[in-house]
Amino acid sequence: MGDKVIFGGIEMANPLIASSSPLTETVRKVHCCREATFGGVILKTAADYLRTGKGYGRKVVFIGEDYYADASYEREILTLEEGMALFRGALSVAGDMAVIPSVSANSMEAEDWVFICRRFEDLGARLIQLDFFYLGTGILPEDEGFYKRLGEFLATLQSRLHCIVMPKLNFHFDPEKTCKALAEYGIRQVSLLDSIRFALPARFGLHRDTTSYFGRKQLPLTRMYLQHAVEAGLEICAGGGVSGPEDVELLLENGAKLVQTASYVLKNGFGSAPALLRGEPASQGRLTWCEAEGYGGKGCEFCGFCRETGQAEAL
């Protein structure tokens, strides 16, 4: 399934990566990713915070080839302790599959990120994704100085760690300015592209500020960011909008070293992953977010993604 690839000095069996998602939020699902012959997994994002028990669960609206996922911060983001436990468990089942933690913080203070990154580094992490999704638009001022501060922040963070940091960009970051800043300040790896914030009409019952779009409409954005990252000489783990093997081939041909995906497998089952690199149509599996646990089993949230549960929106 594809050729071996070196990314950030790490050898991976192939360029297909399971992105940070429901595919990578439990040890059992990481094991399923290994069985599906992924080259690596990016674990569900963790942050250094105390969960208060408030918040709400996950809900998904599936419309044709697109889906819209809504969940609170406390549902989607693991605590530091949960993230470390997941990383340890993932290493125990991953075999030769690369395991990449994903971390987040609600500031651009290097110290906040150094603390959590070092915890994973101490557990053996060689590459860590920096999840900027929850920084939001308010911390991204539209001035030329922002990208210099971003570069300085990342350079400081990298200088205080032995592992490699890989920022995951969201579409609030100007692609050209960001990629130039990463290159100028010595950051060589980048992850593209995060989900798109999207608000559906109130009748769907989704929260405006926490609903994200996933689907093929992301692909043109991913390609635009990919182009600027290639021009800046970065190593790229690209994804967002992958709907079949032709999209994986397109991203690899245009300069990505790795291609990450989640929605394709969430729609078609873990067994569909090899088709993405072999260029074959996926066998039609069940539509599920929780294939590892099974319908109605432990961990099922009745999120509405799986048509067979009868919970999907009638459209």
Task: Convert the pLDDT of each residue in 207-256 to its tens digit.
Answer: 988 899 999 999 999 999 999 999 999 999 999 999 999 999 999 999 99
pTM comes to: 0.92
In the prediction, which pLDDT does 298 show? Answer: 56
Spatial separation of the C-alpha atoms in residues 69 and 57, rounded to whole Å: 11
Spatial separation of the C-alpha atoms in residues 127 and 248, rounded to whole Å: 22
- Per-residue pLDDT averaged across 4-18, rounded? 97
Q: Flag whether pLDDT at 287 surpasses 60.
A: no
Q: Flag whether pLDDT at 297 surpasses 80.
A: no
Q: Flag whether pLDDT at 168 surpasses 50.
A: yes
Spatial separation of the C-alpha atoms in residues 194 and 131, rounded to whole Å: 9
> Residue 246 phi/psi, 5° resolution?
-65, -30
What is the band of 53 on the pLDDT scale with cuts at 50, 70, 90? confident
Q: Both tokens of residue 123?
A: 């557990």
- Per-residue pLDDT averaged across 277-282, rounded? 74
Spatial separation of the C-alpha atoms in residues 28 and 90, rounded to whole Å: 8
Beta strand pairing call for 258-261 and 196-197? unpaired
In the prediction, which pLDDT does 256 show? Answer: 98
Task: Convert the pLDDT of each residue in 30-39 to its tens digit.
Answer: 999 999 999 9
Task: Convert the pLDDT of each residue in 66-83 to its tens digit.
Answer: 889 999 999 999 999 999
Note if the bond before 206 is cis, omega within 30 degrees: no
What is the band of 296 on the pLDDT scale with cuts at 50, 70, 90? very low
